[in-house]
Structure 1
């Protein structure tokens, strides 16, 4: 099955005329510059929200350019309203006050949240503010339907370890299970799991992620098991096993756009029909009722000096380079970074705005997936995803 990583597909979708010509990019062998130090999941550099969830420390200016990631929180999230959801362009990193960040247009309906995707948008993404470093994560949801339409429930780390449930809109009788290590696509990792009508029926999809085993379950029945020991990569000299703190992501996105790679379009069942019978009130939608998180203990031998955040202490980006600390940083503005979290060009000592500082920073990208990272239409969903 030919397919692109969610982040890569998103990046392609998000590319738009709004992207500044001088927006720096990042990736293997190319770190972000000091003035725009944070590498987003879309491979572009910026400040502010670029330095929060999804900030890739391996390709940022330095490891601490990204803000420390809030530790796992055991909780049962009843997604009945938007009270616990904050738009990505208003969230500065205080995970003690909000549990979900959105891009795109989530709406409430019948005590649940709808992830919507109208024409000329790239859908909706809901991402947790707290990370999970091993745990049992369940989501009760229904999917969207139609060619080119993809619903996803995934775990994604900042160094692009990934665990997936994905639902292609032309196949409502299967959930695609998949995993990746540090963003390296392996088409042999995908396995279809049989399930009854994903559009009409609410199912509970569960990822049970432990240091040595990973299972995918539907409605309490384990349908796939992966053992870490079976993922050894002798060439890279490491296990190709998801092993780093990850955010929970729920999204609806248009894989079937003509601007996407033909392999992605074919995987998604073809080009999207924006006049489809499966659209309601002008948009495609998927419904999420509830997300449950049970945190597991950190792996044996973890570098633990605190209990509040996860940080990386080495560019390898593997299990043994993650530390648990008491570092907590809330950005003072969308021009702040992990390196300089208190920076606010509009908070002059006199109390008046500093026009000079504002002009000096106005060319910096501050919110990935909306301008520099791409445009999700009115709002973006993932992720570009």
Structure 2
């Protein structure tokens, strides 16, 4: 089924569902007084092939207690050269990880092998407190396709999903990337661009985002009832005689463009607009337009990986199917030419008195923060989906419920067109 058909079907199926099910602990657009988001501030790499236990990733990700202390099933484990394994054994399982830090525009790469199986969804999501989202998502019985989506401030809009060809998504590792600036969002697979999305659409994520990765069950519930649309989108009901369903993650890299600042330590909303210009950046100084000069924060090397990162060997076709719909839900962010003179004026004087911390726990055995910044050219992408019940739906999962191609990944067991 093509992406446009899926969008229509899911729009009809979920139009009555509330976007309030999308998870955000604190939403500034709704008037909430929120704690500033801690910033990545530079480049951070997690080599999951070198991880051996949950403690090794907790400096990067928040790990839910339901995953850590499940007395019966090992939902999160480590498999040497295959990296970190996230497993689904039962319908209620939705193992999801959330980064401690946020990026304010940036470049994200995830090398993974998605979980196979009808009804099983693997997702990589960037989501903000205001419910801005940029997604990759994989349906377990569609090994030759991957989906992308965007959402702005949690607004129900089902017209910005993309469907992209990929080979052997469930049996081979690929590197999926998102490159995000105020001027465009670019998704790529193994270094080949598959989609671009512009602010002129009126639906453009632009507030600091947290990285969320996980797997969840879309194929559950009554196929003749309210869950029908979601089940069809997810490829049918999950087949539990084939469990467990495993997704593998080998490497994650985040480069925070930090809103055009150097050495950012945190991001704070100054009003309820939810625009990138309204975000106050603490730490360092303004050095340019976001993405023009990637941060050069002097980070302490936390650990050198014991093994060299492997690059994906297969490539993806640089074509895509995207339904184009123009809406006008928000003003487009300013371009680099519109803000360049302001940056030149402010760069010499705008220096924060708050300096970033350069210390990290020495127990983080696979995470490396460096001063070397890679090219801002996108290199891959990935997204997320939604489940039926809020108590076992990943945080961004309501994006599926509100439009077709899922967004997210947030709650675990109570917890992506131009």
TM-score normalised to structure 2 length: 0.58
Aligned residue number for residue 219 of structure 2: 256
CA contact (8 A) 1:134 1:210 kept: yes
1:197-236 matches, within 5 Å, as 197-228=168-199, 230-232=200-202
Stretch moving more, 75-84 or 241-250: 75-84
Q: How far 1:57 moved relative to its partner?
A: 3.2
Q: How far 1:315 moved relative to its partner?
A: 1.3
Aligned residue number for residue 411 of structure 2: 384
What is the distance in 1 between the residues matched to 2:172 and 2:33? 43
In the superposition, relative to structure 1, how do residues 57 and 171 fare at CA in structure 2: closer, same or farther (>3 Å)?
A: same
Q: How far 1:149 moved relative to its partner?
A: 0.5
Q: How far 1:325 moved relative to its partner?
A: 2.5
Aligned residue number for residue 235 of structure 1: none
In the superposition, relative to structure 1, how do residues 382 and 134 fare at CA in structure 2: closer, same or farther (>3 Å)?
A: closer
Match status 1:323 vs 2:292: no
1:12-91 matches, within 5 Å, as 27=20, 41-42=22-23, 50=25, 55-59=26-30, 62-64=32-34, 66=35, 68-80=37-49, 81=51, 82-86=54-58
CA contact (8 A) 2:129 2:209 kept: yes
CA contact (8 A) 2:220 2:238 kept: yes
CA contact (8 A) 1:138 1:205 kept: yes
Q: How far 1:156 moved relative to its partner?
A: 1.0
CA contact (8 A) 1:142 1:200 kept: yes
In structure 1, stretches of 5+ residues that fail to align are 13-24, 28-39, 44-49, 87-97, 233-239, 327-371
Structure 1 vs Structure 2 CA RMSD: 3.2
What is the distance in 1 between the residues matched to 2:193 and 2:410? 28
Match status 1:243 vs 2:206: yes
What is the distance in 2 between the residues matched to 1:133 and 1:148? 33
What is the distance in 1 between the residues matched to 2:97 and 2:118? 22
1:360-379 matches, within 5 Å, as 374=391
Aligned residue number for residue 236 of structure 1: none
Stretch moving more, 211-220 or 306-315: 306-315
Tell me which of 230, 234, 237 is aligned to 1:268: 234
Aligned residue number for residue 123 of structure 1: 94
Other structure's SS at 1:275 match = helix
The structure with the greater share of residues assigned to helix is: 2
TM-score normalised to structure 1 length: 0.63
In the superposition, relative to structure 1, how do residues 320 and 212 fare at CA in structure 2: closer, same or farther (>3 Å)?
A: same
Aligned residue number for residue 180 of structure 1: 151
CA contact (8 A) 1:26 1:59 kept: no
What is the distance in 1 between the residues matched to 2:166 and 2:390? 35
CA contact (8 A) 1:144 1:169 kept: yes
The structure with the greater share of residues assigned to strand is: 1
Aligned residue number for residue 102 of structure 1: 63
In the superposition, relative to structure 1, how do residues 41 and 26 fare at CA in structure 2: closer, same or farther (>3 Å)?
A: closer
1:144-175 deviation digits (Å, cap 9, x = unpaired): 11111100111111111111111011211011
What is the distance in 1 between the residues matched to 2:180 and 2:118? 31
1:296-319 deviation digits (Å, cap 9, x = unpaired): 2515xx8x9x93111111112221
What is the distance in 1 between the residues matched to 2:112 and 2:84? 9
